[in-house]
Amino acid sequence: MKASVFLRIAAGLTAVFDAAYMLGRPWTRRHDVQTAAVIEAMKSYRFNAMGFERSYFDFYVGFGCTLAVHLLM
């Protein structure tokens, strides 16, 4: 087979992986009480970042979206 066929297969698999990754958003499952407590702590602690009030959870979700965009490219 030609190399282009393998590249197209790899691109298709990466696109499927990216779609599955975005469906798993926000990338944290709450299976136990400790995980839920950490997520609530991330959401509750807010601070000023470049003129906007953000939480650690905002950065967590934003980083996940950034990874999805990189996978798509």
Q: What pLDDT digit, counting tens, does each position of 44-64 carry?
A: 999 999 999 999 989 988 888
More confident of the two residues 53 and 39: 53
Q: With CA atoms as reference, report the closest residue to 63 among 40, 36, 42, 34.
A: 42
| Residue 29: per-residue pLDDT | 67
Average pLDDT of the chain is 86
CA distance 1 to 19: 27
Give the H or E element holding residue 54: strand 52-55
Confidence of residue 34 (pLDDT cuts 50, 70, 90): confident
Tokens representing 62 are 């934003």
